[in-house]
Amino acid sequence: MSICDSLCLISQFAQAIFHMIVNWKFSSSTDDYYYTSNDLYKLSFFCKIDMFIMHATSAYSVWCWLMLSVLRYTAVFHPFKYRTIWRQPRNALLIIAASSCTLEIWILVLVSYLPEERSCIESPGTNIVTAQAGHLMDILFAYVIPSFIRILLDGIVLSHCYRPNIIEVPVFERRYGISSASGQALLISNENKNPISLILSLPRRSISYKREQFCKKKNSMIMRSLIISALNLCCNLPSHVLRAVWTLESAPQMNETLMSFLEAISQLLYFGQFTCNAFYLSTTIYETSTAPTKTYSTTNHSKNNVSKYLENEEV
């Protein structure tokens, strides 16, 4: 996602520089006479490649958000499956990349540089129905479908995880719930102090408190992820709505100033999504780490102590 967002921003920056250079170089002309065939070929080639990269990376980023929602759903409802998957997410990302590039091939065919407009739009000879089908297909598969699935999965995760009145019972208390009362420590004599008795004599309230704190931390991280995901959807929505309206040519006769204002707001929100992506990656993905190595070594050390104790008992 970070690579695609960087490429998308670079392509948009290149598009702005491209228009500045073209307007400066051909500022004295409005006809095709001042454009040579070689100039039109180069300008059209740049438009095709730049627009293709922009749309493909944007679609890939949206589907990456859907992939994160799927992983979050799997982690909540199928934790053991989530811990055992290895190459499946990588293979899914490759499939998403290939699908995004295939979805945007229509740009390489239809988009070109139009001297009259001095911009990258569909070729003049393109059928209107074909151009509308390309735009609507792009909006449908690059935003509507993945966004709908994201809302569905995140809503299920939200309804399951955010339950403040439910406190999970620790495994330690469930295991010894028959032999001793809940919330009370096991009574073990001071004689024959050994690793097993030390483990069993841990205060249950301390374990319950730590478990509760862990659950709160987990739920807060999930809530933060869901909020950022919702903000990302909201930032992308206005630009796609305006694009759909302009594609269908069904927009009511509005004041040109109002339309310019709405377009500026939609573009501002569209660029704001990259801030959401960066914040999500920095606060959720990059800060998440696996269990430290010291925990593993401590566990092995405890196992060795227990095994030594059992061998001494047998002797």
User: Range with the lowest mean pLDDT among 205-214, 252-261, 306-315?
Assistant: 306-315
Q: Does residue 124 form part of some domain?
A: yes
Cα separation of the two ends of the chain: 60
Mapped onto helix, strand or coil, the DSSP state of residue 112 is strand
- Contact status, residue 15 vs residue 47, Cβ threshold 8 Å: no
**How much is the mean pLDDT over the chain?**
75
Quick check: 205 pLDDT over 90? no
Residue 114 lies in a domain: yes
Q: What CATH number should be reported for the domain holding residue 58?
A: 1.20.1070.10
Angle at CA 303, nearest 5°, toward 300 and 307? 140
Residue 129 is assigned to a structural domain of this protein: yes
pLDDT of res. 163: 61
Number of domains in the chain: 1
If one compares 85 and 309, the residue with the highest pLDDT of the two is: 85
Query: For residue 266, is it within any domain?
Result: no
pLDDT band at 141 (very low <50, low <70, confident <90, very high): very high
Q: For the full predicted model, state whether its pTM sits above 0.85.
A: no
pLDDT band at 302 (very low <50, low <70, confident <90, very high): very low
pLDDT band with cut points at 50, 70 and 90 for residue 7: very high
Range with lowest mean pLDDT among 6-20, 71-85, 208-222? 208-222
- Work out the widest C-alpha separation in the chain, in whole angstroms: 102
The answer on pLDDT for 194 being more than 70 is no
**223 falls within a domain:** no
- Domain containing residue 21: 1-161
Above 50 in pLDDT, residue 183? no
| Residue 116 located in a structural domain | yes
Q: What is the distance between the alpha carbons of residues 161 and 274, in angstroms, rounded to a whole number? A: 27
Mean pLDDT of 286-305: 48
Better-scored residue on pLDDT, 244 or 206: 244
The reply to whether 96 falls in a domain is: yes
Structure tokens at 172: 């330690």
**C-alpha distances in angstroms, 185 versus 169, 179, 189?**
15, 11, 12
Indicate the DSSP class of residue 169.
P
Is 189 a residue whose pLDDT tops 60? Answer: no
Q: Is residue 121 part of a domain?
A: yes
For residue 99, pLDDT beyond 50: yes
